Chains A and B, each alone.
Chain A
Amino acid sequence: MEHHTCFHCGLDATNSEIIFDEKSFCCNGCKTVYEIFSENDLTCYYDLQQAPGSTPKEIEGKYNFLDNEKIVEKLLEFNDGKTQIITLYIPHIHCSSCIWVLENLSKIHPSVSFSMVNFGKKNVRITYNSETLSLKNLVILLNSIGYEPFISLDDYSPSKKIIDRSLIYKLGFAGFAFGNVMFLSFPEYFEVNEFWLEQYKPLFRWLMFSYSIPVVFYSAQEYFISAYKGLRSKILNIDVPIALGILVLFIRSSLEIIYDIGPGFFDSLTGLIFFLLLGRLFQQKTYSFLSFERDYKSYFPIGITKILPNGKEESVQVYDIEKGDRLLIRNEELIPVDCILIKGKAHIDYSFVTGEAKAVTKKSGDKLFAGGKQLHGIIEVDVLKSVEQSYLTQLWSNDVFKTDKEESFTSITNSISKYFTIAILSIAIISTSFWLFTESSKALNVFTAILIIACPCALALSAPFTFGNILRILGTKKFYLKNASVIEQLAKIDTIIFDKTGTITSNKNSNINYEGTNLSDEEALILKSTLRGSNHPLSRALYELLNDHNIVSLDNYQEYIGQGIAGQYKETQIKIGSAPFVGYTNENTSLNTIVHVSTNNTYRGKFTFYNAYRKGLSHLFNKLKKEFDLVILSGDNEGEKENLTKLLPGKTKLLFNQKPEDKLEYIKYHQSEGAHVLMIGDGLNDAGALAQSNVGIAISENVNVFSPACDAILDASKFNQLDRYIKLSKTAIIIIKWSFALSFMYNIIGLYFAITGQLSPVFAAILMPLSSISVVVFTTLSTNMAGRKLK
């Protein structure tokens, strides 16, 4: 048969036989989206990008909470009763087609008057008429075209984030003043002594002076604040010599023009501040579509269905849930509070909370913990604790989440600036006292000249430009860092701790091993047909694994909750499930997940589920073991211990059954012994450990969706490149040291002129930008060279 892919989403559509408009589709959902687009003349969607769509999901009842007006009010950006504006986060936004179709939303529904996409943030801002289109229907409309928005408890927070644009203002002003001052000081550079120029000199100078006032007191204010803070806590950070340099530059220049001695250094002053701010902007690379600050709120739903005593259903806000309430949890919904199962079959996926790989089945009367996800069917539960008091959410009351890692860390620039400042001050004092004895009129001139020329502009730019560029390079390799200081921390790491489930194992597939007598073709066929009927996660996994068979319709099929499934076809009976269910008695206790099979009451064999480890895991560990201590901290049981000892280098420590707090304490203990710990995890259960470690990296199969608070997010497909990334961060430190050397060289040249009392404004105006630019060029070129080695 000819191979087809879905015209809408690009998945395989060979077997689906859904043809519409001479195009094949993988499912009816995709076909429906195509129909909507073609009816509304929006098929350009498919011209801009091949197969850009996603299959709309079943969301029956999922957005009922949007009927609750209090919740809606909190989500809206603007509401006058008629026109409403909302910004929705849509993870699927990924290409130009997405932008195009979302911005043409008004063609699909006339009540939408305006929609604008922010591609970087993956959100869309929609203005619509609430009289004809409710928010709930808008969300359903978006879902029907495959763009399901993601609404979590995080959106419910009362204060919206204010965008900080002050750096752009400051930079804009510094650039503006820098350009103008340059023009005005141009005549002075050539010292032509032309009559008219001489005449207007004072005017030009005072203009320059007035341009520099806001630059010094507005644009550069952060350097003064930071220097003051540093001095108060007795740290000579890099901002101390910078602030000193700026201050001296400004005071000396002002005095020069007041007493009509010379033109001052306003050009160097404004240029210096402009370049410094440029460095800051460059370092401030942020991944606006990623969030590094997530806590449980980003995972939790806003609203949940509550069953009132009279049997009616009502959507309530999660914070309003009280002890004793009866809740309805639908398929694929997250349980927001600790509760007791009352009704229904619960298959709970706790992988976010505990790191346990397999979903667990619970009977009515069992306790369910917050953070679990119901996988199949509807359940009813009674609430035991409110959201804030639940087991999972209490982890966030730990102190680690309140400390700022960046503050407690001395950066490479600050550690060198201590010696730098002391050296400069002593040079200044020594040469000033020398001049005091030889030619006292020049002493003050030399003193200020030294402080001006030694102002560590190039030094201060080395780190921002190197780290900024490394950040960008790593970003293109799908390793997203929160900020530049993470690179420095990463270069110091000596211990690497891995979580197991979801980190070194892959969530997507598991290995299944069959032991026992071989099944005949017919039996295999029945096995697959029987599994098809079950929604249990293990059945699904097994079903996916078995080779292609045709499906037969069974004569008889029954599911026994918590035990297994049974099917019958013609003469053959098959039972799949737990050992007692299939009548297998001599089972050795095993920690692995096992599914047994029997046909016609004869035991045939068992399927054992093993974790599937990520590609290149063993290779990666062997490369890492030379330089780092490796540890695996797993929340799971010891079932995989044997497998792991075979796979990983001998000295890797393996610890199992670790609770979230245990992981945190383990890292804390090793840090107290002087270790620099890199923690790599994925779930909420690692959140504490990620926060406690020096660098916490979250592994994510899909970087747009879920990752706990961390310092960096690594795309799962790049996991085996980890050693190269660490190496690159070490190279970055070496590059910075070299560019320090380069900027010292400029300083020495400048100091020679300053000490001998020959520093002229032109010279300063050339040397300062020259040193800054050459440092920027050097760091950019060398980081790009280093980055080229990455795959």
Chain B
Amino acid sequence: MSVIYIMLTVSIIVAIIFFVAFIFAVKNGQFDDSYTPSVRMLFEDELVKEKSNKSILTKKD
């Protein structure tokens, strides 16, 4: 039954991994803006295709 020590250690380590991930997420500012990403992820379909003719892209200076 001392396997419970391993189980406990594993469970705590997993919990702590998630907790550290959360801390890093907050630190990187992922919780600062909760609206824009929800809109941004819908843009995938409208992504501009890279044109072969680069000169058009650099026309405006």
Contacts and interface: CB of A to CB of B under 8 A. Distances in A.
Nearest to B54: A110
Interface in A83-119: 96, 99-100, 103-104, 107-110, 117-119
B33 to A, nearest CB: 5
A123 B23 CA distance: 25
Contact of B60 (A47, A108, A120, A173): A108
Contacts of A41: 48-49, 51, 56
Nearest to A104: B48
Given A36-B60, A200-B4, A207-B8, A100 B31 contact: no
Interface residues of B, number: 31
A169 B23 contact: yes
Nearest to B40: A99
Contacts of B34: 120
Contact of B19 (A103, A120, A163, A172): A172
B46 A48 contact: yes
A593 interface: no
A120 B51 CA distance: 32
B1 A176 contact: no
Given A120-B33, A165-B26, A99 B59 contact: no
A42 interface: yes
B46 A118 contact: no
A119 B22 contact: no
Interface residue SS majority, chain A: helix
A180 B15 contact: yes
A47 B47 CA distance: 13
Interface string A167-186: 01100110010001000000
B5 to A, nearest CB: 8
B60 A109 contact: yes
A40 interface: yes
Contact of B61 (A109, A165, A196): A109
Contact of B31 (A103, A168, A176): A168
A44 interface: yes
Interface in A412-443: none
Interface string B27-60: 1010111111001101100101101000011111
Given A41-B51, A120-B35, A176 B56 contact: no
Contact of A176 (B19, B33, B51): B19
Interface in A108-165: 108-110, 117-121, 141, 144, 163, 165
A118 B15 contact: no
B15 A176 contact: yes
Given A100-B46, A120-B34, A165-B32, 8 more contacts: A39-B56, A42-B48, A44-B48, A120-B33, A144-B60, A163-B32, A172-B26, A200-B4
> Closest 4 interchain pairs by CB?
A119-B36, A44-B46, A118-B33, A96-B39
24 contacts: A39-B60, A40-B57, A41-B49, A44-B46, A48-B46, A96-B43, A99-B40, A99-B43, A103-B40, A107-B48, A108-B60, A118-B33, A118-B36, A119-B33, A119-B35, A121-B33, A141-B60, A163-B32, A165-B32, A168-B26, A172-B26, A176-B22, A196-B4, A207-B12
